[in-house]
Structure 1
Amino acid sequence: MRTLLTAATLALFSGPALAAPLCDNLAFSGLLAKCNRGDTIKVTLSSGKPLGEGPVILESGAYYEMEITADGTAEIGLSGPDFFRAIWMDEIVINDIEVRPMAIDSFEFDDAGTAEFSFIAIKPGRYHILIPGTTGESQRLEIRIQ
């Protein structure tokens, strides 16, 4: 029985089922370690312009920042509830105000401005963030978590 439990435990905690962080030595800071940070993802909200270049490929278990900038040409929202539930959100920063939410569905910009949020990619899959009510491919950004 002990051998069976040991084998089951080893199978559970080894192999590709575990998230692979970007660095080998996470030290005391764990997943928030500097070596575990991916490139910043830039998203632009502007009337008639693409959201960004995609697809964006993320590594499960890695820490990322997304910078969403609206130029004020229109009142524009950004929705992506499936993506926002596939990540662990650390914080959202708007005008130097830090918010640590449990979950969000969308952002909306009434004027020009920038919102930044940091997160750890968790659930592998293919997701989209998009401008609600639009159908154009340039009005959506594909994000893949591997």
Structure 2
Amino acid sequence: MKPIVLGLALSLSASLAAAHEYGFAGILSNGNSGEMPGLTLSVGAPIADGPITLESGKVYEMEITADGSAELALTGPDFFRAIWVNEVVVNGLEIRPFGLESVEFDEAGEMEIEFVAIKPGTYELKIPGSTGDTQRVEITIR
């Protein structure tokens, strides 16, 4: 019995050493991440430079910066239902929500949302109540 237990222990330690050597695998691995331009919330300024295209299955970090010029929100329930949110980071605090519909800044600050793009389609994030084209950003998941 002791040789079997010893063999299992050696096998497990070899597996753990290999995992440490190669890093994490799977959907949240570094090799599976994409780049996403930052978003800005400011009165009268565009949220983004133009439409954004993401790839389904990739991990992204959405950085949102508010300049404090007004109390501004960013809403996009259809977009937030097309992604899986891993975490939201505000002032170094990590929040792991079940889902999101919108975020709001009462004052200047930054927020990071790490997510996996899931459902292909075209979505929008916008400042609620606004009508200008610069106050929204189109996001396509391919």
Superposition TM-score, scaled by structure 1 size? 0.80
Structure 2 residue runs without a partner (length 5+): 1-22
| Residue 117 in structure 1 maps to residue 140 in structure 2 | no
| Counterpart for residue 75 of structure 1 | 71
Q: Which residue of 2 aligns with 1:22?
A: none
Cα distance in 2 between the residues matched to 1:40 and 1:57? 8
Spell out structure 1 runs of 4+ moving beyond 2 A: none
Specify the SS of the correspondent of 1:29.
coil
Identity percentage of aligned residues: 56
Question: Which secondary structure does the structure 1 equivalent of 2:60 belong to?
Answer: strand
Gaps spanning 5+ residues in structure 1: where? 1-26
Q: Which residue of 2 aligns with 1:10?
A: none
Matched residues, number: 121
Residue identity matched to 1:43: L
Indicate if the aligned counterparts of 1:41 and 1:64 stay in contact, CA closer than 8 A.
no
Moved more, 86-95 or 34-43: 34-43
TM value normalised by structure 2: 0.82
The structure with the largest alpha-carbon Rg is: 2
> Equivalent residue for 1:20?
none
Higher helix proportion (structure 1 or 2): 2
Instruction: Give the superposition deviation at 1:33.
Output: 1.0
